[in-house]
């Protein structure tokens, strides 16, 4: 490994420990050690300050008492108990909370969003990024990522799993998506414990995130933005062949959206027409990026692909009709 790579690894590990501090355990350990030290100090002093000389003729017994020793001893005991209590609060109370059951997915949404946001943050900061020209850095990134997976993401996933396993009264659509999420968590855990297991066919289902976030009310400013994008699309995509335009995906309910998903159905039924309309849409897409600095992720279906369009549309839980 090159010196540059060593330095990068150290910096990344430091960054990881800064972003994901484990101060709680450190404070608990310090409290326990200090308390145990104070208790131990009393015994050591008692041993050192007690002198006994025993002969056949006489016995000399010297005992010095330390006025403060009792206070110090009790402070030590209090600190040890305090550290044990903190340990219980930090490691067992959370588990009890996570095993609580929610009446519906909607009620569980804030709890799940908190865990998913932490996972997402870890994934974005430590997750594998494609760096084809720097294979060594790719390996180094993986070592930080591997640690974050087992220390943070898997425990968070365990909590998500417990919650979604106890939900009742789910709709068919919710059940299907939750089954996918459970499958992802199971495969991800096996992948983490047995690194060579491939879970690419069981990656995090975006549908689950969309579903959970759909229960979160968006802010007024974000709602205005949705309306603004919707109006812009309606005005700019005023092309004869366009039958329907929908917005879908995270943009509708997550202010930290990655891009804006748009679904378009056209009436084009010849290859020439499909190409002509698609080129017009592509041009408008570029104009949007140039004007707003954001990407539109457009899925277009022609009349020839109507069946696929209906299947695709049927799988989307939340759609906002633009046209």
Partner 1 sequence: MGFDLHPSILPYWEKALNSHSNVSSWDKLDDSNDYIYRIKRVRGKDILVLASDCYEYSLSDFFTRNDLIGQGAMIYMAKPESKYDLEVADVAKQERVTIGMLGEILGALNLDAHWNWESKDRKERRKR
Could you list the residues that contact partner 1 (CB under 8 A)?
123-124, 127-130, 132-133, 138, 198, 200-201, 203-205, 258-259, 266, 271, 274-275, 277-279, 281-282, 295, 297, 299-302, 304-305, 308, 312
CB of 83 to partner 1, least distance (A): 39
Q: In what order do the strands lie in the sheet with 260-266?
A: 296-301, 260-266, 242-248, 319-321
For residue 3, the minimal CB distance to partner 1 (Å) is 24
Q: In terms of CB distance, is 129 or 175 closer to partner 1?
A: 129
- Least spacing, CB of residue 319 vs partner 1, in Å: 14
Cα 146 from Cα 193, distance rounded (Å) = 10
Report, in Å, the least distance between residue 123 CB and partner 1. Answer: 7
Report the nearest approach of partner 1 to the CB of residue 128 (Å): 5
Closest CA to 229 of 213, 248, 243, 215: 248
Structure-token pair, residue 157: 């996933």
Residue (45 or 278) nearer to partner 1, CB: 278
Distance CA 149, CA 159 (A): 14
Nearer to partner 1, 76 or 205 (CB): 205
Element (H, E) at 242: strand 242-248
Other C-beta atoms lying within 10 Å of the C-beta of residue 135: 9
Q: Is 285 exposed, middle or buried (0-12, 13-18, 19+ CB in 10 A)?
A: middle
83 or 254, CB closer to partner 1?
Answer: 254
> Measured from the CB atom, is 108 or 242 closer to partner 1?
242
């Amino acid at each position: 490994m090159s010196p540059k790579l060593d330095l990068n690894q150290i910096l990344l590990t430091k960054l990881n420990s800064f972003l994901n501090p484990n101060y709680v355990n450190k404070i608990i350990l310090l409290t326990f050690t200090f308390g145990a030290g104070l208790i131990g100090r009393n015994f050591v002093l008692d041993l050192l300050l007690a002198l006994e000389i025993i002969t056949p003729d006489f016995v000399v017994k010297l005992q010095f008492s330390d006025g403060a020793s009792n206070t110090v001893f009790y402070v030590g005991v209090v600190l040890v108990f305090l550290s044990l209590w903190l340990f219980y609060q930090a490691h067992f109370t959370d588990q009890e909370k996570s095993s609580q059951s929610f009446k519906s997915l909607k009620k569980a949404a804030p709890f799940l969003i908190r865990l998913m946001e932490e996972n997402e943050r870890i994934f974005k900061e430590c997750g594998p990024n494609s760096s084809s020209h720097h294979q060594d850095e790719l390996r180094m990134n993986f070592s930080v990522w591997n640690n974050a997976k087992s220390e943070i993401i898997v425990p968070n996933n365990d909590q998500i799993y417990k919650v979604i396993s106890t939900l009742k009264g789910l709709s068919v659509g919710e059940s299907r998506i939750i089954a996918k999420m459970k499958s992802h968590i199971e495969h991800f855990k096996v992948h983490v414990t047995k690194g060579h297991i491939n879970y690419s066919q069981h990656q995090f289902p975006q549908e689950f995130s969309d579903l959970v976030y759909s229960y979160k009310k968006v802010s007024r400013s974000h709602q205005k933005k949705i309306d603004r994008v919707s109006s812009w699309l309606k005005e700019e995509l005023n092309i004869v062949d366009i039958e329907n335009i929908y917005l879908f995906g995270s943009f509708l309910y997550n202010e930290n959206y990655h891009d804006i998903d748009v679904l378009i159905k056209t009436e084009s039924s010849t290859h020439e027409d499909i190409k002509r309309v698609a080129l017009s849409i592509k041009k408008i897409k570029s104009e949007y990026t140039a004007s707003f600095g954001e990407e539109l992720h457009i899925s277009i279906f022609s009349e020839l692909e109507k069946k696929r369009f209906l299947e695709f549309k049927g799988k989307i839980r939340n759609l906002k009709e633009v046209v």
